[in-house]
Homo-oligomer: A and B are copies of this chain.
């Protein structure tokens, strides 16, 4: 799986587990609404500083967003 797709899936899962909308999440991370939307769709290739912001906002290490997560799903 490509890294952009991994990020996409991980950030959506973690965001939803916080009960945040994309807009709320974008605000928390100090990013733009539409950009977070793009990232969740795997349509962008962010820099590591952006990923760091996301990770900090979610309270997880950066690896939790970029590494493949072994979810319960088949």
Contact = CB atoms under 8 A, between A and B. Distances in A.
Contacts of A68: 61
Contacts of A46: 47-48
A15 interface: no
A9 to B, nearest CB: 14
Q: How many copies of this chain does the complex contain?
A: 2
Interface of A (DSSP majority class)? helix
Interface in A24-74: 45-49, 51-52, 61-64, 66-68
13 contacts: A3-B51, A7-B48, A46-B47, A47-B47, A47-B48, A48-B48, A48-B51, A48-B66, A62-B62, A63-B63, A63-B64, A63-B66, A66-B66
